[in-house]
């Protein structure tokens, strides 16, 4: 059976040093390779000029840098760019992803043996309008197990988890887009539920934030979750980095939230508030509450007033997101006056909130629109 090459973007200085020593390469080669890839953006070993010819050939033979091709690249009128990446060597079977009803933690799928199965995910580069900020919106899974009723990504369910290396690789690829400048921020808001792929996401965050890796400040990394309260508590204990936690709330009460988010049956808003308070106590970092406003569903005055009560004893700020239409789903974008009234009522209630601008809508790269659709797939 064919075995995959080692994947560079999953490597740490320790594991790459071991890899070099096992093959008779000098120890300092690891540092040189990291500099070529992360500082200079070079992934062709034959271009790494300070490595011996023999070492370059060894690296080319035994190390994989990109795990598959970019099969589509789209550019929106606002400068947002979307990549569709094809992964072709294994993953996690969808039936292995779910929830442990006793612990109320996501069941983390096990890596399947190497195979030739093809899977695809999307990632997005979002440039700021008024600054040099460049945000990478990356995926943690192929598809999504949560099945939010208004979201395109979960329509086909979950096909698999991404490894830490493939998560990091998305940031690197977006960083290489011509003329956009260096990625400054990373948000885990692409395809998938990050905390249902817990270990690879944690490992990826560490590599993205490491000075020898992508070198992006942890304070500029956001992990977005639909909210499994035990998983949030676990993340606070295990990830000793000042990342931002974004909770996809989308409703001010449990009844409506469970209509919109099937996985919400495994938790409650009260449980989530307790977890968020523990997060703040452990990290000192405020929670961001993501709230997608859906016309006629959760955008009325009574919903805003309920949300004020949810937020009143929580160190949090609220991002209001206008719903982005998805073909085939019976939901509509809210009226502008309803959005501004909702924001006004939150602010009158003492809640810090902002309306997020929708970016990349014309290439289906906006919030809730990511879904791997491509001719021939």
**Does residue 216 register a pLDDT over 80?**
yes
User: What is the pLDDT at residue 157?
Assistant: 83
**Tokens read off for 169:** 């690789």
Taking the domains of the chain in order of start, what are their residue ranges?
Answer: 6-64, 70-363
**Residue 45, pLDDT above cutoff 60:** yes
Q: Which fold has domain 6-64?
A: DNA polymerase; domain 1 (1.10.150)
Nearest to 372 by CA among 158, 225, 195, 173: 158
Which member of 86, 111, 122, 325 is catalytic?
122
- Report d(CA 225, CA 247) in Å as an integer: 5
Predicted confidence (pLDDT) at residue 92 exceeds the cutoff of 60:
no
pLDDT tops 50 at residue 42? yes
The answer to whether residues 336 and 33 touch, using CB atoms and an 8 Å cutoff, is no
Mean per-residue pLDDT over the chain, rounded? 87
Instruction: Give the fold, CATH level 3, of 70-363.
Output: TIM Barrel (3.20.20)
Q: What are phi and psi of 195, to 5 degrees?
A: -80, -5
Q: Give mean pLDDT, residues 31-35.
A: 98
Residue 274 has pLDDT above 80, yes or no: yes
φ, ψ of residue 160 to 5 degrees: the values are 175, 165
Please state, in angstroms and rounded to a whole number, the distance separating the CA atoms of residues 150 and 335. Answer: 17
Q: How far apart are CA 256 and CA 311, in angstroms?
A: 17
CA–CA separation, 31 vs 206, rounded Å? 17
The single residue listed with the structure tokens 């307790």 is 274
The yes-or-no verdict on residue 8 having pLDDT over 50 is yes
| 115/311: higher pLDDT | 311
pLDDT beyond 90 at 166: yes
Q: What is the pLDDT of residue 100?
A: 45
pLDDT in tens, 314-356: 999 999 999 988 878 889 999 999 999 999 999 999 999 999 8
Question: Which value, to the nearest 10 degrees, does the dihedral of the CA atoms of residues 213, 138, 280, 293 take?
Answer: 160
Q: What percent of the chain has pLDDT over 70?
A: 86
Q: How far apart are CA 208 and CA 217, in angstroms?
A: 8
What pLDDT does residue 186 have?
A: 98
Percent of the chain with pLDDT over 90: 71
pLDDT band at residue 362 under the 50/70/90 scheme: low
Report the sign of the C-alpha dihedral through residues 149, 155, 158, 164, in that order.
Answer: negative
Nearest to 158 by CA among 231, 85, 229, 96: 96
- Going by C-alpha positions, the residue among 213, 307, 205, 208 that lies closest to residue 256 is 307
pLDDT of the residue at 371: 59
Dist CA 349 CA 351 (whole Å):
6
More confident position, 30 or 356: 30
User: Is 361 a residue whose pLDDT tops 80?
Assistant: no
Q: Lowest mean pLDDT: which of 52-56, 108-112, 133-137, 342-346?
A: 108-112
Here the tokens at position 100 are: 């442990």
Q: How confident is the model at residue 156 (pLDDT cuts 50, 70, 90)?
A: confident
Is 234 in contact with 198 (CB distance < 8 Å)? yes
Tell me which of 4-8, 299-303, 314-318 is least confident: 4-8
Which two three-digit tokens encode residue 138?
């990356």
Annotation marks residue 367 as catalytic: yes
DSSP 200-266: HHHHHHHHHHSTTTT---GGGEEEEES--HHHHHHHHHH--S-PEEEEE---SSHHHHHHH-GGGGG
Is 86 among the residues known to form the active site?
A: no
What's the rounded mean pLDDT across residues 21-44? Answer: 96
Do the domains spanning 6-64 and 70-363 agree at the CATH topology level?
Answer: no
| Confidence (pLDDT) at 116 | 40
Neighbours of 355 (CB within 10 A): 16
Q: Which of 3-17, 18-32, 150-164, 363-377 has the lowest mean pLDDT?
A: 363-377
Answer yes or no: are the C-beta atoms of 301 and 345 closer than 8 Å: yes
DSSP character for 103? Answer: T
Residue 14: other Cβ atoms inside 10 A: 9
More confident site: 294 or 110: 294
Question: Catalytic pick from 20, 144, 311, 367?
Answer: 367
End-to-end CA distance of the chain: 26
């Amino acid at each position: 059976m064919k075995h995959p090459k080692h994947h560079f973007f999953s490597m740490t200085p320790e594991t790459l040093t071991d890899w070099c020593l096992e093959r008779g390469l000098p120890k300092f080669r690891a540092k040189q390779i990291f500099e070529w890839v992360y500082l200079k953006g070079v992934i062709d070993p034959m271009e790494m000029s300070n490595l011996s010819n023999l070492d370059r050939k060894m690296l080319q033979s035994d190390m994989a840098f990109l795990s598959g091709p970019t099969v589509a690249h789209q550019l929106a009128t606002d400068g947002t760019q979307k990549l569709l990446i094809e992964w072709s060597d294994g993953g996690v079977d969808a039936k292995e992803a779910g929830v442990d009803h006793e612990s109320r933690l996501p069941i983390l799928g096990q890596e399947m043996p190497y195979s030739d199965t093809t899977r695809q995910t999307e990632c997005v580069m979002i440039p700021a309008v008024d600054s040099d900020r460049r945000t990478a919106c990356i995926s943690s899974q192929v598809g999504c197990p949560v099945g939010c009723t208004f979201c395109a990504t979960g329509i086909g369910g979950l096909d698999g988890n991404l490894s830490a290396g493939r998560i990091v690789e998305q940031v690197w690829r977006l960083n290489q887009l011509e003329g956009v400048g260096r990625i400054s921020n990373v948000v885990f808001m692409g395809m998938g539920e990050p905390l249902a792929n817990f270990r690879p996401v944690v490992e990826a965050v560490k590599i993205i934030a490491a000075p020898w890796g992508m070198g992006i400040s942890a304070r500029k990394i956001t992990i977005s979750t639909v909210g499994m309260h035990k998983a949030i508590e676990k993340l606070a204990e295990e990830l000793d980095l000042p990342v931002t936690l974004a909770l996809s709330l989308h409703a001010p009460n449990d009844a409506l939230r469970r209509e919109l988010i099937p996985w919400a049956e495994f938790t409650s808003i009260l449980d989530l508030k307790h977890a968020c308070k523990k997060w703040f106590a452990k990290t000192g970092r405020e929670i961001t509450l993501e709230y997608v406003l859906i016309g006629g569903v959760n955008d009325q005055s009574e919903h805003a007033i309920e949300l004020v009560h949810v937020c009143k004893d929580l160190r949090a700020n609220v991002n209001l997101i206008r719903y982005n239409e998805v073909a085939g789903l019976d939901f509509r974008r809210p009226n502008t006056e309803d959005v501004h009234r909702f924001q006004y009522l939150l602010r009158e209630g003492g809640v810090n909130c902002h309306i997020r601008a929708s970016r990349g809508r014309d290439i289906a790269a906006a919030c809730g629109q990511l879904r791997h659709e491509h001719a021939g797939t």
